[in-house]
Structures are given as structure tokens and as C-alpha cells.
């Protein structure tokens, strides 16, 4: 049996096919430009040639129909019949306070999701369209939703409430929700394994740094605070999002320039962050420009790391004794300069980064320990695997064995767990970079 996971954006649909019995990834791919004049698909199946083409996809329904078709294709596919798909897991941005854990999709559940669209107007419509389209194409298969916000439902009120009129919370659901939950769940559990502790005995700070970025304080294995808020705009400096700012800036700029609230929303989400500071969002481009003497690019690097360091320090104060700091997601896994800059100066708090290990650790196929041997606080680079969380949740919901993560055991919590797809990739990396083996983070 295989599990299909779908992550539908406004104009895209990412997917993965996982062989539950073999515990291996069979195929991954993405459909882009949905709803435009033409769409594209990039598909890669285990042991087969990559497939790319253009096609017409006015809606997510056509995109998902093509995904199912290519999965059954004799040359590029991985299954011979759609009945081999035992369950489908869908990533959903926002569960509000209604969804504290993953759940199977019903008409009533879809109705509840639609009531939450105002909390995530940029992402939720696409998430829902993807679920509806997949249910039409695969009506007899169990569909599960996995919310980005569910992991953060353990936060205490002092962490999730804002100091605004209380009726805003009562009437309009204004509170901190947090995002990147599946990533934090996976990396928190993996950090416990690497530390040789049970999750309930583990305190870690996790930095999920991609184009979007957030940080999470994990105490005794559960989330107690996070940087993103009602929406994914708050917190760290991101590729195109501002992160934290003085709220008074908004009416100030609106009064001076005449921009509307919708225009301000676009400016803060799509034209701020690193793009706003230096015109670039890809950290590789920002770093290259900074090294070439671009003062604005250097400001972007400095500001991003300064904000990260502030949050790390604040969360260390909040959770007490910290076992480890974890870096994950694209930049967290590959951006050594961001890791180094954000941890430098934290030595008095027990964080000692090994410069050589940090420089070597840019490979997305393995877990690394980049702190010095005598560092009281360990520093790990752990590649995230949100798709695996979605896969295991979907299977368990289908099988009737699922429960909230504090009562549920994931396969990747075991010391013997091996990600076969990454193991293959790491073996290839070792052929040209044997030094990677020396910084592997092995379970204690």
C-alpha cells in the first residue's frame, strides 16, 4: 500500500508517494502554474528518468488528475492501479482553535475549514481546493488533513495571547497560532533521539529557516512558544516578510502615502524582509552580494541573524536548561553563515559552535552535530521531513491508531530509524565529500 501526500498552494501542488510496507519514498513531484495559460509538472520516481511537461490545468482538479495519471504511467509511474493508494494526506495552513490534531476529512470537516479562511486568506483557499479536487478524483480513499498550527496548541495563554482588547480573541480569534508545525514536530522528535532522551525530557530550540522562517521553544517535548503569530508574518526576518515591527508604522505609512490596508498587507508579506532591504530573497544571492561589498545585502544578513539571536536568547530564558539548538529547512540546513552569525556571542549561554563542522555541514541528506565537543548546549542540523509526518498521520487515521503527538509514537522516534531516500543521497555525497562522515549526529 502507498500513501500520497499533497501540499496545494494557490498555483501549485507538491506531492510525494510513500511505500508504507517498504518504508521508502517512491516518487516526488510538483505541478506549478495552476490556473495560468499553461501548467508544468516535474516528476521523479525511484529508479526512473525524470519527467517534465507542460499541460493545461485551469484548476487543481486537472493537476491532481495528471498526478494520478503519471503515477500509473508504465514508463514513469510507481503503481499499476489507483487502488494501491491507501490514504491521502493534505497539508493545511490553519486549524485555528478547532483542530488540535490531524483528522480525517468529512463534509462537516470541510465546512469547518472554510470557516477558517479569514485566518489564512493567502493559503487556505488553495488548501481547500486541493482537498476537494483530490476527493473528486479519489472518492473512495480516506483523506486526512494535517494542520501547520496543531503542534502549537500546547502553548500556554501567556505565550499565545496578545495584549489587545480581550474581545478580539473572543469574537475574532485573535491570538498567536504559529506555523511550520509538522517540521517542528519531526525535528523535535529527532532531536530527542540524537540526545538519547525521551521527548518528555527534552528541551530544544528549533530554527526553521527557509524563505518563510520561524523559531519554536520546546520544553519537555511540547511547544511552549513560537515566533509566528495570527499569521505567518510575525517574528523572524524572512525572504519577503517583515517579521516583527512596530504596529504604529502601518498607520504612519498609510497616512503619508495613501496606500490601502490591502496594499500594506502585500508590502509586508511580499515586498519586505530581505527583498525590501536589499532586493534579494535567496540567501545565497544575499551572501554573495554582501561578500562583494553590497552594504544593503550585508545589512540583510546582519539583521536576519540579529533577530534570530534575540529569539534564541529569549527562548533560552523562557524554557530554562536547553539541551540543543536545531537548525532545519533550506537555509537552516545549508546556510552555514546564518547559523554561525546567529550563534556567535552565545558562548556565555553554553552555545559553542565548531567553525569547521559548521562550514562542512551543507548536505540535506543527513543529520549533523556542529557544536564543539565540550559545548553544554548541542547544536544540530536536522533535515526536516514534513511529508513523513503527514504520511504517518494519514496512515494512522486510516487504521484507527492515531492520537495527538504526546500520546502517539512515530517511526522516526526510534534509534534504528533510517530514511532510505536520504541514505541513498548521503552515499553519493560521501563519494566526493568523505569529511561529512566525521560530523554525523549519531543517536546516543
- The reply to whether 246 belongs to the active site is no
Is 7 within any annotated ligand binding site?
yes
Residue whose C-alpha cell is 554582501: 290
Query: 162 — phi, psi (to 5°)?
Result: -105, 150
Of 353, 357, 356, the closest CA to residue 374 belongs to 353
**Does 283 count as an annotated binding residue?**
yes
313 is in an annotated binding site: no
Taking each helix axis from N to C end, the angle separating 60-71 and 124-137, rounded to the nearest 10 degrees, works out to: 50
Question: Is 130 annotated as ligand-binding?
Answer: no
Crossing angle of helices 181-195/386-399, nearest 10°? 100
Which among 21, 24, 73, 148 is annotated as catalytic?
Answer: 148
> What count of residues does the chain have?
444
39 within 8 A of 48, measured Cβ to Cβ: no
Angle at 124 (CA atoms; ends 120, 125), nearest 5 degrees = 125
**Whole-angstrom distance, CA of residue 349 vs CA of residue 316:** 8
**In the block, which residue shows the cell 489587545?**
164
Say whether 47 counts as a known binding-site residue.
no
62 marked ligand binding residue? no
**337 annotated ligand-binding residue:** no
Is residue 127 within 8 Å of residue 161, measured between CB atoms? no
Query: Which strands, in side-by-side order, build the sheet including 143-147?
Result: 51-55, 39-45, 24-32, 12-19, 2-8, 85-92, 143-147, 103-104
Known binding residue 180? Answer is: no
Helix, strand, coil percentages, rounded to 5, for the chain:
45, 20, 35
Where does 8-118 have alpha helices with state H?
60-71, 107-114
Catalytic residues: 148
Which residues belong to the annotated binding site for Mg(2+)? 7, 386
Which residues belong to the annotated binding site? 7, 14, 91, 208-212, 282-284, 386
Which residues belong to the annotated binding site for ATP? 14, 208-212, 282-284
Which residues belong to the annotated binding site for substrate? 91
Amino acid at each position: 500500500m502507498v500513501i500520497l501526500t499533497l501540499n496545494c498552494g494557490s498555483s501549485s501542488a507538491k506531492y510525494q508517494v510513500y511505500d508504507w510496507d517498504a518504508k521508502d519514498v517512491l516518487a516526488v513531484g510538483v505541478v506549478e502554474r495552476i490556473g495560468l495559460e499553461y501548467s508544468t509538472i516535474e516528476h521523479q520516481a525511484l529508479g526512473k528518468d525524470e519527467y517534465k511537461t507542460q499541460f493545461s490545468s485551469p484548476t487543481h482538479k486537472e493537476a491532481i488528475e495528471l498526478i494520478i495519471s503519471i503515477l500509473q504511467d508504465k514508463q514513469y509511474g510507481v503503481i499499476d492501479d489507483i487502488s494501491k493508494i491507501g490514504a491521502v494526506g493534505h497539508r493545511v495552513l490553519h486549524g485555528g482553535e478547532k483542530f488540535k490534531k490531524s483528522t480525517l476529512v468529512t463534509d462537516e470537516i470541510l465546512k469547518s475549514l472554510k470557516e477558517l479562511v479569514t485566518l489564512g486568506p493567502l493559503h487556505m483557499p488553495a488548501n481547500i481546493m486541493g482537498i476537494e479536487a483530490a476527493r473528486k478524483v479519489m472518492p473512495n480513499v480516506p483523506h486526512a488533513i494535517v494542520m501547520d498550527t496543531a503542534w502549537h496548541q500546547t502553548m500556554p495563554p501567556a505565550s499565545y495571547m496578545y495584549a489587545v482588547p480581550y474581545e478580539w480573541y473572543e469574537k475574532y480569534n485573535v491570538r498567536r497560532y504559529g506555523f511550520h508545525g509538522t517540521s517542528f514536530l519531526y525535528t523535535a522528535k529527532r532531536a530527542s533521539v540524537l540526545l538519547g532522551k525521551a521527548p518528555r525530557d527534552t528541551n530544544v530550540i528549533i530554527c526553521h529557516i527557509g524563505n518563510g522562517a520561524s523559531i519554536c521553544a520546546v520544553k519537555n517535548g511540547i511547544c511552549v512558544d513560537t515566533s509566528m503569530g495570527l499569521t505567518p508574518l510575525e517574528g523572524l526576518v524572512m525572504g519577503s516578510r517583515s517579521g516583527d515591527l512596530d504596529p504604529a508604522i502601518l498607520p504612519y505609512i498609510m497616512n503619508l502615502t495613501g496606500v490601502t490596508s490591502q496594499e500594506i498587507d502585500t508590502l509586508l508579506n511580499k515586498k519586505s524582509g530581505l527583498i525590501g532591504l536589499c532586493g534579494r530573497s535567496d540567501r545565497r544571492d544575499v551572501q554573495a552580494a554582501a561578500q562583494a561589498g553590497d552594504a544593503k545585502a550585508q545589512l540583510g544578513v546582519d539583521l536576519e541573524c540579529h533577530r534570530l539571536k534575540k529569539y534564541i536568547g529569549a527562548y533560552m530564558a523562557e524554557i530554562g536548561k536547553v539541551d540543543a539548538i536545531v537548525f532545519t529547512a533550506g537555509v537552516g540546513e545549508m546556510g552555514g553563515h546564518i547559523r554561525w552569525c546567529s550563534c556567535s556571542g552565545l558562548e556565555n549561554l553554553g552555545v559553542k559552535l565548531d567553525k569547521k563542522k559548521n562550514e562542512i555541514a551543507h548536505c540535506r541528506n543527513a543529520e549533523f552535530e556542529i557544536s564543539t565537543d565540550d559545548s553544554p548546549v548541542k547544536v544540530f542540523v536536522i533535515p526536516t521531513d514534513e511529508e513523513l509526518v503527514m504520511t504517518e498521520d494519514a496512515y494512522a487515521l486510516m487504521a484507527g491508531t492515531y492520537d495527538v503527538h504526546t500520546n502517539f509514537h512515530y517511526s522516526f522516534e526510534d534509534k534504528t530509524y533510517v530514511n532510505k531516500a536520504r541514505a541513498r543521497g548521503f552515499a553519493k555525497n560521501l563519494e566526493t565529500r568523505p569529511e561529512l562522515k566525521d560530523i554525523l549526529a549519531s543517536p546516543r
